[in-house]
Amino acid sequence: MSFVSESPIDSAVPQPPISKLAKSALAAILRIFLPVLLALVVGGLILMALGKNPLDYYGYVLDRGLFSWGGFQATLTRMVPLLLMAAGLIIAFRAGIWNLGGDGQFLLAAVITAALAPALIQVMPRSLMIICCIAVSVAVSALWALLPALLKARYGVNEIITSLMMSFLGISFANVLVKLVFRDPSTTVPQTPDLPVEDRLPRLFDTTVHAGILIALVVIVLVHIMMTRTSFGLKLQIVGANPRAAVHAGLNVGWLTVATFALSAGLIGLAGSIEILGVWGTVRADWNPAYGLVVVPLVFLARFHGIGTIGFTLFFAILMIGGESASRRIGVPQHYVLVLVALLLLFLALVEYLDQLWRKRVKD
C-alpha cells in the first residue's frame, strides 16, 4: 500500500525528463566554468612561453590567496568593493543599461568619504560618522550618473559613451579635489587627511577583515531578491528585455532608466565609501584601483545572478591577492592577473557565441 498520494496538479502537468534536466544543468555548468578553465589553461601556456612554471604560479596564488590565514583575510577584504560594484552592475545590466562609469563613481565617493570622515569624527560618534559618509557618498555617485541617465531617457543617447566619458571626468575631478580642495597641508604627498585606524569600520573577531564584508553580502543578497522577487525588479527586467514592449505595457521607461542609473551608481559609490572607511582611511593623488571594468566579466559569468556572483568574486579576489605574491616569487609582472581577466572575457564571449550557434542549429 502506498502512503504517498499523487496531486492532481502534479499528474496533470507533464514533468520534463530527468535526462533533459541533467543536460540543461550540464550545459549551464559548461557555460559558466569552461571560460574559467580555458583562461587558466591558456594563461598557463603563456607562462610556459615566458619560461615560467604555471603550476608554481597557480600554486602560489592558492597558497597566498586562500590557504594562508593572512592571505585569506586579505581576500575577504578585497571582495568587499568587488561585491558592491557587482551589485550595482547587476541592477544596470538586468535593466539593459550599460553603466560603465564605475571607476569615476567609485573614486568620487571615495574622495568625498576621505574628506568628510576625519572632520565628522571630531564632532560625532563613529557610527553616526560612518552613516553620514556613506549617505553623502552614495548621493554624490548617484548624482554623477544623472547626466548619462537623462541623456539616455530623454534623447536615447548611447549610455556606453556617456558613462565612460563621465567616468574619465570623475577620475580627473577626484584627483583635482585631492590635490587642491581636500589636500592635507601637513603632508608632502598630495592626499586627504587620514582617518585614524580606531575610527574606521570595526574588525570582525580579531581579524583584519572589517565589517564591510557583512554589508557587501547583505547588499548583494538584497539586490538579488529585489531583481527576482519584487515588481520593481520585474519592471526593470522587462525594460531590459524589450523597451518597446515595456512602453506598450504602460511602464514609464524614462523614470525606470533614471532610477536604474541612480541605484547602480549609488551602490558603486557605496563600494568607494566602504573601501575608505574600512581599509585606507585616506585617498592619495592618482590613486585608482580600476575595479570598474574588472567586475564586468564576473557579473556576466554569474549570468547576473546575485548569489552566484559571490563565488566568482571570491575566485577573482583570490587571483588578485595571490597573484601579487606569485608575481614577485616567480618574476612576472604584477598585473599578469589582468591578462587572465582579458582571456576570461575572450573565452566568455567565445563560449556564449558557440552556445547561441548550437541552440540555433538545434532549433532549425
- Indicate whether this model's pTM tops 0.85: yes
CA distance 311 to 298: 9
Q: Categorize the per-residue pLDDT at 92 as very low, low, confident or very high, splitting at 50, 70 and 90.
A: very high
37-77, pLDDT tens digit by residue? 999 999 999 999 999 999 999 999 998 888 899 999 999 99
Residue 294 has pLDDT above 60, yes or no: yes
Task: Determine the pLDDT at residue 9.
Answer: 41
Does residue 61 sit within a domain? no
For the chain, the average pLDDT equals 89
Task: Determine the pLDDT at residue 18.
Answer: 55
Task: Determine the pLDDT at residue 253.
Answer: 92
Does residue 356 sit within a domain? no
Does residue 253 sit within a domain? yes
Query: Over pLDDT 70: what percentage of the chain?
Result: 92
222-248, pLDDT tens digit by residue? 999 999 999 999 999 999 888 888 888
Among residues 97, 259, 265, 70, which one has the least CA distance to residue 167? 265
Domain hosting residue 161, numbered range: 82-299
Residue 255 has pLDDT above 80, yes or no: yes
Residue 10 has pLDDT above 50, yes or no: no
Question: Contact, 113 vs 137, CB < 8 A?
Answer: yes
Does residue 211 sit within a domain? yes
Does residue 341 sit within a domain? no
Task: Determine the pLDDT at residue 21.
Answer: 65
Q: Categorize the per-residue pLDDT at 2 as very low, low, confident or very high, splitting at 50, 70 and 90.
A: very low
Task: Determine the pLDDT at residue 33.
Answer: 84
CA distance 266 to 99: 12
Does residue 73 sit within a domain? no
Q: What cell does 160 get?
A: 556606453
Does residue 351 sit within a domain? no
Task: Determine the pLDDT at residue 161.
Answer: 94
Residue 4 has pLDDT above 70, yes or no: no
Among residues 236, 273, 296, 288, which one has the least CA distance to residue 139? 273
Long-range contacts of 25-30 (CB under 8 A, 24+ apart): 27/355, 30/351
Task: Determine the pLDDT at residue 1.
Answer: 41
Does residue 350 sit within a domain? no
Count of domains in the chain? 1
Lowest mean pLDDT among 157-161, 269-273, 348-352: 348-352
CA distance 318 to 296: 17
Residue 108 has pLDDT above 50, yes or no: yes
